[in-house]
Amino acid sequence: MNVALFLSRKLSLRQTDHTTSPGVIIAVTGIAISLIIMMVSIATITGFKHDITVKLLGFNAPVSISAIDYSYTDAPTYPGITLTDSLRIEISRIVPQAKPAVTITVPAIFKTDNAFLGIALKGLSEKEQWDFTAKNLEEGSLPDSDNINEGIIISRIMADALDLQVNDRILTHFLINNKVKTRKYTVTGIYNSNFSDYDRSYAFIDIHPLQQLMRLNHLTGSNIELLGITLDDVPETAETLYSELLSQSINNNSTTIRQVTTVYNNASNFFNWLELLDTNVWVILILMACVSSFTLISSLFIIMLQRVNTIGLLKALGAADRMIRNTFIFMAMKIVAKGLIIGNITGISMLLLQSYLKIIPLDAATYYLNYVPININWSIILILNIAVILVSWLILILPSHFVSRISPAKAINYE
Protein backbone atom coordinates (compact mmCIF):
# COMPACT_ATOMS: atom_id res chain seq x y z
CA MET A 1 0.00 0.00 0.00
CA ASN A 2 1.14 3.56 -0.74
CA VAL A 3 1.85 4.98 2.74
CA ALA A 4 1.61 8.62 1.60
CA LEU A 5 -1.80 8.02 0.06
CA PHE A 6 -2.96 6.13 3.18
CA LEU A 7 -1.87 8.95 5.49
CA SER A 8 -3.47 11.62 3.29
CA ARG A 9 -6.80 9.79 3.60
CA LYS A 10 -6.51 9.60 7.38
CA LEU A 11 -5.42 13.20 7.93
CA SER A 12 -8.34 15.62 7.90
CA LEU A 13 -8.41 19.04 6.23
CA ARG A 14 -10.28 20.38 9.23
CA GLN A 15 -8.67 22.28 12.11
CA THR A 16 -8.43 21.03 15.69
CA ASP A 17 -11.81 22.61 16.46
CA HIS A 18 -13.32 20.57 13.61
CA THR A 19 -13.93 23.63 11.44
CA THR A 20 -12.64 23.93 7.89
CA SER A 21 -9.64 26.22 7.54
CA PRO A 22 -10.35 29.53 5.79
CA GLY A 23 -7.34 28.83 3.57
CA VAL A 24 -8.88 25.56 2.43
CA ILE A 25 -12.21 27.24 1.75
CA ILE A 26 -10.50 29.97 -0.26
CA ALA A 27 -8.50 27.38 -2.24
CA VAL A 28 -11.57 25.28 -3.06
CA THR A 29 -13.49 28.41 -4.03
CA GLY A 30 -10.60 29.72 -6.14
CA ILE A 31 -10.23 26.45 -8.06
CA ALA A 32 -14.00 26.18 -8.58
CA ILE A 33 -14.33 29.77 -9.81
CA SER A 34 -11.28 29.43 -12.07
CA LEU A 35 -12.69 26.25 -13.63
CA ILE A 36 -16.10 27.88 -14.12
CA ILE A 37 -14.58 30.94 -15.80
CA MET A 38 -12.36 28.82 -18.07
CA MET A 39 -15.24 26.52 -18.96
CA VAL A 40 -17.67 29.36 -19.66
CA SER A 41 -15.05 31.31 -21.65
CA ILE A 42 -14.24 28.38 -23.93
CA ALA A 43 -17.92 27.46 -24.41
CA THR A 44 -18.85 31.07 -25.16
CA ILE A 45 -16.00 31.79 -27.56
CA THR A 46 -16.44 28.51 -29.48
CA GLY A 47 -20.20 29.07 -29.54
CA PHE A 48 -19.74 32.60 -30.81
CA LYS A 49 -17.34 31.46 -33.52
CA HIS A 50 -19.69 28.65 -34.54
CA ASP A 51 -22.79 30.85 -34.81
CA ILE A 52 -21.00 33.62 -36.70
CA THR A 53 -19.47 31.07 -39.08
CA VAL A 54 -22.93 29.61 -39.75
CA LYS A 55 -24.16 33.09 -40.65
CA LEU A 56 -21.18 33.69 -42.93
CA LEU A 57 -21.85 30.39 -44.72
CA GLY A 58 -25.48 31.45 -45.11
CA PHE A 59 -24.39 34.36 -47.29
CA ASN A 60 -21.21 32.87 -48.78
CA ALA A 61 -20.71 29.38 -50.20
CA PRO A 62 -17.74 27.40 -48.83
CA VAL A 63 -16.27 27.33 -52.35
CA SER A 64 -17.51 29.02 -55.53
CA ILE A 65 -16.34 29.06 -59.13
CA SER A 66 -16.57 32.03 -61.51
CA ALA A 67 -15.15 32.79 -64.94
CA ILE A 68 -12.84 35.64 -66.02
CA ASP A 69 -12.33 36.40 -69.71
CA TYR A 70 -8.84 37.79 -70.46
CA SER A 71 -9.37 38.22 -74.21
CA TYR A 72 -10.07 41.93 -73.81
CA THR A 73 -7.03 44.18 -73.79
CA ASP A 74 -8.48 46.93 -71.59
CA ALA A 75 -9.63 44.84 -68.64
CA PRO A 76 -10.84 41.32 -68.00
CA THR A 77 -14.61 40.75 -67.95
CA TYR A 78 -16.89 38.43 -66.05
CA PRO A 79 -18.97 36.73 -68.75
CA GLY A 80 -20.72 34.27 -66.43
CA ILE A 81 -20.17 30.56 -66.09
CA THR A 82 -22.15 27.57 -67.34
CA LEU A 83 -22.47 24.32 -65.43
CA THR A 84 -21.73 22.09 -68.40
CA ASP A 85 -21.68 18.30 -68.16
CA SER A 86 -17.89 18.30 -68.44
CA LEU A 87 -17.54 20.83 -65.61
CA ARG A 88 -20.00 18.89 -63.45
CA ILE A 89 -17.98 15.69 -64.02
CA GLU A 90 -14.73 17.51 -63.22
CA ILE A 91 -16.18 18.90 -59.97
CA SER A 92 -17.52 15.47 -59.02
CA ARG A 93 -14.12 13.93 -59.64
CA ILE A 94 -12.20 16.46 -57.54
CA VAL A 95 -14.81 17.07 -54.83
CA PRO A 96 -17.16 14.05 -54.72
CA GLN A 97 -19.09 15.33 -51.69
CA ALA A 98 -19.88 18.73 -53.23
CA LYS A 99 -23.19 19.66 -54.82
CA PRO A 100 -22.83 22.39 -57.48
CA ALA A 101 -25.49 25.10 -57.56
CA VAL A 102 -25.74 27.85 -60.17
CA THR A 103 -26.32 31.29 -58.64
CA ILE A 104 -26.59 34.86 -59.87
CA THR A 105 -25.71 37.91 -57.79
CA VAL A 106 -26.53 41.18 -59.51
CA PRO A 107 -26.57 44.78 -58.24
CA ALA A 108 -29.98 46.41 -58.23
CA ILE A 109 -31.90 49.37 -56.84
CA PHE A 110 -35.15 49.07 -54.90
CA LYS A 111 -37.43 52.06 -55.51
CA THR A 112 -40.54 53.14 -53.66
CA ASP A 113 -42.51 56.39 -53.79
CA ASN A 114 -40.46 57.90 -50.98
CA ALA A 115 -37.08 56.15 -50.97
CA PHE A 116 -34.61 54.01 -52.85
CA LEU A 117 -31.92 51.55 -51.80
CA GLY A 118 -28.98 49.90 -53.55
CA ILE A 119 -28.81 46.16 -52.90
CA ALA A 120 -27.30 42.91 -54.16
CA LEU A 121 -30.01 40.58 -55.43
CA LYS A 122 -28.99 36.93 -55.22
CA GLY A 123 -30.77 34.29 -57.27
CA LEU A 124 -30.79 30.79 -55.78
CA SER A 125 -31.29 27.56 -57.72
CA GLU A 126 -31.19 24.77 -55.12
CA LYS A 127 -33.50 24.07 -52.19
CA GLU A 128 -30.55 23.79 -49.77
CA GLN A 129 -29.59 27.39 -50.51
CA TRP A 130 -32.88 28.57 -49.02
CA ASP A 131 -32.35 26.82 -45.68
CA PHE A 132 -30.50 29.73 -44.07
CA THR A 133 -33.06 32.31 -45.23
CA ALA A 134 -35.93 30.08 -44.08
CA LYS A 135 -34.32 29.67 -40.64
CA ASN A 136 -34.05 33.47 -40.24
CA LEU A 137 -37.43 34.30 -41.76
CA GLU A 138 -39.24 36.80 -39.54
CA GLU A 139 -42.42 37.34 -41.55
CA GLY A 140 -44.08 35.79 -44.57
CA SER A 141 -42.80 32.76 -46.44
CA LEU A 142 -40.39 31.71 -49.18
CA PRO A 143 -41.46 32.13 -52.82
CA ASP A 144 -43.62 29.17 -53.85
CA SER A 145 -44.37 27.70 -57.24
CA ASP A 146 -47.20 30.22 -57.81
CA ASN A 147 -45.10 33.35 -57.30
CA ILE A 148 -41.63 32.01 -58.07
CA ASN A 149 -41.14 34.50 -60.92
CA GLU A 150 -42.04 37.56 -58.88
CA GLY A 151 -41.56 36.63 -55.22
CA ILE A 152 -38.64 38.18 -53.34
CA ILE A 153 -37.22 37.96 -49.82
CA ILE A 154 -35.85 41.16 -48.30
CA SER A 155 -34.20 41.86 -44.93
CA ARG A 156 -35.74 43.63 -41.97
CA ILE A 157 -33.29 46.51 -42.46
CA MET A 158 -34.48 46.96 -46.06
CA ALA A 159 -38.14 46.71 -45.04
CA ASP A 160 -37.72 49.39 -42.38
CA ALA A 161 -35.70 51.67 -44.68
CA LEU A 162 -38.27 51.46 -47.49
CA ASP A 163 -41.37 51.09 -45.26
CA LEU A 164 -42.31 47.77 -46.86
CA GLN A 165 -44.52 44.96 -45.59
CA VAL A 166 -45.14 41.39 -46.75
CA ASN A 167 -47.17 41.29 -50.00
CA ASP A 168 -46.10 44.83 -50.98
CA ARG A 169 -44.94 45.31 -54.56
CA ILE A 170 -41.56 46.91 -55.17
CA LEU A 171 -39.91 48.32 -58.30
CA THR A 172 -36.43 46.93 -58.92
CA HIS A 173 -34.06 48.58 -61.40
CA PHE A 174 -31.14 46.77 -63.06
CA LEU A 175 -28.33 47.94 -65.31
CA ILE A 176 -27.90 45.14 -67.88
CA ASN A 177 -25.54 45.66 -70.84
CA ASN A 178 -25.63 49.44 -70.28
CA LYS A 179 -29.43 49.43 -70.38
CA VAL A 180 -31.75 50.07 -67.43
CA LYS A 181 -34.32 47.34 -66.97
CA THR A 182 -37.13 47.46 -64.43
CA ARG A 183 -39.07 44.66 -62.84
CA LYS A 184 -41.76 44.63 -60.16
CA TYR A 185 -41.52 41.98 -57.46
CA THR A 186 -43.75 41.01 -54.53
CA VAL A 187 -42.26 40.87 -51.05
CA THR A 188 -43.20 37.36 -49.91
CA GLY A 189 -41.01 37.32 -46.83
CA ILE A 190 -38.78 39.39 -44.53
CA TYR A 191 -35.71 37.81 -42.95
CA ASN A 192 -33.53 39.00 -40.08
CA SER A 193 -30.18 37.30 -39.48
CA ASN A 194 -28.96 40.09 -37.14
CA PHE A 195 -25.89 40.27 -39.39
CA SER A 196 -26.28 43.91 -40.37
CA ASP A 197 -23.31 43.95 -42.75
CA TYR A 198 -25.08 41.42 -44.96
CA ASP A 199 -28.72 42.18 -44.11
CA ARG A 200 -28.16 45.70 -45.37
CA SER A 201 -27.11 44.41 -48.80
CA TYR A 202 -28.61 41.01 -49.65
CA ALA A 203 -32.09 40.20 -50.92
CA PHE A 204 -32.99 36.77 -52.30
CA ILE A 205 -35.01 35.53 -55.26
CA ASP A 206 -35.36 32.40 -57.34
CA ILE A 207 -32.69 32.29 -60.03
CA HIS A 208 -35.03 31.84 -63.02
CA PRO A 209 -36.36 35.45 -63.19
CA LEU A 210 -32.79 36.75 -63.19
CA GLN A 211 -31.75 34.29 -65.90
CA GLN A 212 -34.68 35.45 -68.03
CA LEU A 213 -33.80 39.08 -67.33
CA MET A 214 -30.18 38.55 -68.38
CA ARG A 215 -31.12 36.16 -71.22
CA LEU A 216 -29.15 33.26 -69.82
CA ASN A 217 -30.00 29.57 -70.02
CA HIS A 218 -30.94 27.61 -66.89
CA LEU A 219 -27.37 26.30 -66.42
CA THR A 220 -25.63 29.70 -66.54
CA GLY A 221 -25.07 32.18 -63.74
CA SER A 222 -22.52 34.57 -62.30
CA ASN A 223 -20.92 31.75 -60.31
CA ILE A 224 -21.28 28.13 -59.28
CA GLU A 225 -21.45 27.48 -55.55
CA LEU A 226 -20.24 24.15 -54.17
CA LEU A 227 -22.43 23.07 -51.27
CA GLY A 228 -21.70 20.39 -48.69
CA ILE A 229 -18.00 21.14 -48.10
CA THR A 230 -16.84 21.41 -44.50
CA LEU A 231 -14.74 24.38 -43.45
CA ASP A 232 -11.77 22.14 -42.67
CA ASP A 233 -11.74 20.91 -46.28
CA VAL A 234 -12.17 24.34 -47.88
CA PRO A 235 -8.49 25.41 -48.30
CA GLU A 236 -7.29 22.11 -49.77
CA THR A 237 -10.40 21.73 -51.94
CA ALA A 238 -10.09 25.25 -53.35
CA GLU A 239 -6.39 24.84 -54.11
CA THR A 240 -6.86 21.49 -55.87
CA LEU A 241 -9.90 22.68 -57.78
CA TYR A 242 -8.21 25.86 -58.99
CA SER A 243 -5.09 23.97 -60.09
CA GLU A 244 -7.10 21.39 -62.04
CA LEU A 245 -9.38 23.94 -63.72
CA LEU A 246 -6.43 26.19 -64.59
CA SER A 247 -4.57 23.29 -66.20
CA GLN A 248 -7.69 22.45 -68.17
CA SER A 249 -7.98 26.04 -69.48
CA ILE A 250 -4.29 26.11 -70.45
CA ASN A 251 -4.54 22.79 -72.25
CA ASN A 252 -7.56 24.06 -74.19
CA ASN A 253 -5.82 27.40 -75.03
CA SER A 254 -8.82 29.17 -73.52
CA THR A 255 -8.78 32.87 -72.66
CA THR A 256 -11.43 32.27 -70.02
CA ILE A 257 -9.97 31.31 -66.66
CA ARG A 258 -12.13 29.73 -63.98
CA GLN A 259 -11.52 31.51 -60.71
CA VAL A 260 -12.04 29.70 -57.40
CA THR A 261 -12.93 31.72 -54.30
CA THR A 262 -13.81 30.62 -50.78
CA VAL A 263 -15.77 31.92 -47.85
CA TYR A 264 -12.41 32.82 -46.30
CA ASN A 265 -11.73 35.14 -49.26
CA ASN A 266 -15.18 36.72 -49.30
CA ALA A 267 -15.40 37.23 -45.54
CA SER A 268 -11.72 37.50 -44.59
CA ASN A 269 -12.26 40.45 -42.23
CA PHE A 270 -14.76 38.48 -40.15
CA PHE A 271 -12.55 35.39 -39.94
CA ASN A 272 -9.59 37.55 -38.90
CA TRP A 273 -11.79 39.01 -36.19
CA LEU A 274 -12.82 35.53 -35.02
CA GLU A 275 -9.18 34.42 -34.85
CA LEU A 276 -8.45 37.27 -32.44
CA LEU A 277 -10.95 35.72 -30.02
CA ASP A 278 -8.57 32.78 -29.53
CA THR A 279 -6.07 35.18 -27.98
CA ASN A 280 -8.69 36.24 -25.43
CA VAL A 281 -9.25 32.61 -24.47
CA TRP A 282 -5.54 32.00 -23.85
CA VAL A 283 -5.26 35.16 -21.74
CA ILE A 284 -8.22 34.04 -19.61
CA LEU A 285 -6.82 30.52 -19.22
CA ILE A 286 -3.41 31.82 -18.13
CA LEU A 287 -4.91 34.30 -15.64
CA MET A 288 -7.20 31.69 -14.12
CA ALA A 289 -4.30 29.22 -13.89
CA CYS A 290 -2.29 31.82 -11.99
CA VAL A 291 -5.18 32.53 -9.60
CA SER A 292 -5.84 28.86 -8.84
CA SER A 293 -2.10 28.17 -8.48
CA PHE A 294 -1.66 30.97 -5.94
CA THR A 295 -4.61 29.83 -3.82
CA LEU A 296 -3.50 26.19 -4.02
CA ILE A 297 0.08 26.94 -2.93
CA SER A 298 -1.23 29.09 -0.07
CA SER A 299 -3.53 26.32 1.08
CA LEU A 300 -0.67 23.78 1.00
CA PHE A 301 1.44 25.97 3.28
CA ILE A 302 -1.53 26.39 5.63
CA ILE A 303 -2.08 22.63 5.77
CA MET A 304 1.60 22.00 6.51
CA LEU A 305 1.69 24.67 9.22
CA GLN A 306 -1.37 23.09 10.84
CA ARG A 307 0.39 19.71 10.75
CA VAL A 308 3.92 20.71 11.86
CA ASN A 309 3.68 18.38 14.88
CA THR A 310 2.62 15.54 12.61
CA ILE A 311 5.55 16.23 10.30
CA GLY A 312 7.96 16.16 13.26
CA LEU A 313 6.48 12.92 14.55
CA LEU A 314 6.73 11.25 11.13
CA LYS A 315 10.35 12.37 10.79
CA ALA A 316 11.16 11.06 14.29
CA LEU A 317 9.71 7.69 13.26
CA GLY A 318 12.05 7.61 10.29
CA ALA A 319 9.71 8.72 7.50
CA ALA A 320 11.50 10.07 4.44
CA ASP A 321 10.97 13.66 3.32
CA ARG A 322 9.69 12.42 -0.03
CA MET A 323 6.97 10.34 1.60
CA ILE A 324 5.89 13.26 3.80
CA ARG A 325 5.88 15.61 0.80
CA ASN A 326 3.68 13.20 -1.16
CA THR A 327 1.31 12.96 1.81
CA PHE A 328 0.68 16.69 1.80
CA ILE A 329 0.49 16.83 -1.98
CA PHE A 330 -2.25 14.18 -1.84
CA MET A 331 -4.02 16.24 0.82
CA ALA A 332 -3.83 19.32 -1.40
CA MET A 333 -5.16 17.28 -4.33
CA LYS A 334 -8.24 16.57 -2.19
CA ILE A 335 -8.82 20.32 -2.28
CA VAL A 336 -8.41 20.27 -6.06
CA ALA A 337 -10.94 17.43 -6.31
CA LYS A 338 -13.50 19.34 -4.24
CA GLY A 339 -12.96 22.46 -6.32
CA LEU A 340 -13.38 20.50 -9.56
CA ILE A 341 -16.61 18.86 -8.37
CA ILE A 342 -18.14 22.19 -7.34
CA GLY A 343 -16.82 23.93 -10.48
CA ASN A 344 -18.10 21.26 -12.86
CA ILE A 345 -21.57 21.10 -11.32
CA THR A 346 -21.95 24.89 -11.26
CA GLY A 347 -20.29 25.57 -14.63
CA ILE A 348 -22.11 22.88 -16.60
CA SER A 349 -25.43 23.92 -15.04
CA MET A 350 -24.84 27.52 -16.13
CA LEU A 351 -23.91 26.42 -19.66
CA LEU A 352 -26.99 24.20 -20.02
CA LEU A 353 -29.30 26.96 -18.75
CA GLN A 354 -27.89 29.49 -21.22
CA SER A 355 -27.85 26.96 -24.06
CA TYR A 356 -31.53 26.06 -23.72
CA LEU A 357 -33.12 29.16 -22.18
CA LYS A 358 -30.83 31.89 -23.62
CA ILE A 359 -31.08 33.88 -20.39
CA ILE A 360 -28.23 36.34 -21.13
CA PRO A 361 -28.99 38.63 -24.11
CA LEU A 362 -26.62 40.50 -26.41
CA ASP A 363 -26.92 43.64 -28.50
CA ALA A 364 -27.35 42.21 -32.02
CA ALA A 365 -26.27 45.49 -33.61
CA THR A 366 -22.84 45.09 -32.02
CA TYR A 367 -22.31 41.33 -31.74
CA TYR A 368 -24.48 40.06 -34.66
CA LEU A 369 -26.26 37.79 -32.15
CA ASN A 370 -29.12 38.58 -29.79
CA TYR A 371 -28.02 36.13 -27.07
CA VAL A 372 -24.79 34.72 -25.66
CA PRO A 373 -24.08 31.57 -27.72
CA ILE A 374 -22.91 28.41 -25.98
CA ASN A 375 -21.13 25.44 -27.52
CA ILE A 376 -20.79 22.61 -24.99
CA ASN A 377 -17.96 20.31 -26.03
CA TRP A 378 -17.68 17.47 -23.53
CA SER A 379 -14.23 16.43 -24.75
CA ILE A 380 -12.89 19.95 -24.12
CA ILE A 381 -14.43 19.95 -20.62
CA LEU A 382 -12.77 16.60 -19.90
CA ILE A 383 -9.40 17.84 -21.20
CA LEU A 384 -9.76 21.00 -19.10
CA ASN A 385 -10.34 18.95 -15.94
CA ILE A 386 -7.36 16.70 -16.67
CA ALA A 387 -5.19 19.75 -17.36
CA VAL A 388 -6.20 21.34 -14.03
CA ILE A 389 -5.26 18.13 -12.18
CA LEU A 390 -1.88 17.80 -13.90
CA VAL A 391 -0.97 21.47 -13.53
CA SER A 392 -2.02 21.43 -9.86
CA TRP A 393 0.16 18.39 -9.18
CA LEU A 394 3.18 19.99 -10.83
CA ILE A 395 2.66 23.29 -9.01
CA LEU A 396 2.50 21.56 -5.62
CA ILE A 397 5.85 19.81 -6.01
CA LEU A 398 8.02 22.88 -5.35
CA PRO A 399 6.33 24.26 -2.17
CA SER A 400 6.14 20.73 -0.74
CA HIS A 401 9.94 20.86 -0.31
CA PHE A 402 9.24 23.09 2.70
CA VAL A 403 8.93 19.80 4.63
CA SER A 404 12.68 19.12 4.37
CA ARG A 405 13.42 22.36 6.24
CA ILE A 406 11.45 21.31 9.33
CA SER A 407 13.50 19.96 12.27
CA PRO A 408 11.89 16.94 14.00
CA ALA A 409 12.79 18.19 17.51
CA LYS A 410 11.39 21.67 16.96
CA ALA A 411 8.36 20.37 15.04
CA ILE A 412 7.20 18.04 17.84
CA ASN A 413 7.23 20.95 20.35
CA TYR A 414 5.68 23.40 17.85
CA GLU A 415 2.62 25.27 19.16
Pair (294, 364) in one structural domain: yes
What pLDDT, on a 0 to 100 scale, did the predictor assign at position 201? 93
Of 218, 235, 264, the one marking the end of a domain is: 264
What pLDDT, on a 0 to 100 scale, did the predictor assign at position 71? 64
284: closest CA among 13, 33, 103, 101? Answer: 33
- Residue 171: which domain range? 61-264
Of 237, 264, 291, the one marking the end of a domain is: 264
> In sequence order, what are the residues at sequence separation of 6 or more whose Cβ sits closer than 8 angstroms to the Cβ of residue 24?
13, 299, 302, 303, 335
Average pLDDT (28-48) is 89
> Does residue 364 register a pLDDT over 90?
no
Pair (181, 250) in one structural domain: yes
Measured between alpha carbons, how far is 396 from 335 in angstroms, rounded to an integer? Answer: 12
Pair (97, 229) in one structural domain: yes
Pair (281, 333) in one structural domain: yes
Q: What is the CA radius of gyration of the chain?
A: 32
Task: Encode pLDDT of 261-288 as tens digits.
Answer: 999 998 989 998 888 888 888 888 888 8
Average pLDDT (58-67) is 92
Pair (188, 203) in one structural domain: yes
Pair (330, 193) in one structural domain: no
What pLDDT, on a 0 to 100 scale, did the predictor assign at position 72? 58
Task: Encode pLDDT of 76-129 as tens digits.
Answer: 555 688 898 888 998 999 889 999 999 999 999 999 988 999 999 999 988 899
Pair (22, 99) in one structural domain: no
Pair (70, 217) in one structural domain: yes
Average pLDDT (181-187) is 92
Confidence of residue 1 (pLDDT cuts 50, 70, 90): very low
Pair (126, 257) in one structural domain: yes
Pair (186, 41) in one structural domain: no
Measured between alpha carbons, how far is 36 from 50 in angstroms, rounded to an integer? Answer: 21
Q: Name the pTM for this structure.
A: 0.81
Pair (10, 81) in one structural domain: no
Pair (24, 112) in one structural domain: no
The mean predicted confidence, pLDDT, of the chain is: 84
> Does residue 237 register a pLDDT over 50?
yes
Task: Encode pLDDT of 349-362 as tens digits.
Answer: 999 999 999 899 98
Instruction: Name the domain count of the chain.
Output: 2
- SS3 per-residue string spanning 34-48: HHHHHHHHHHHHHHH
Of 229, 264, 299, the one marking the end of a domain is: 264
β-pair type (151-155, 202-206): antiparallel
- Choose between 197 and 316: higher pLDDT: 197
Task: Encode pLDDT of 389-412 as tens digits.
Answer: 888 888 777 766 666 566 555 555
What pLDDT, on a 0 to 100 scale, did the predictor assign at position 412? 55
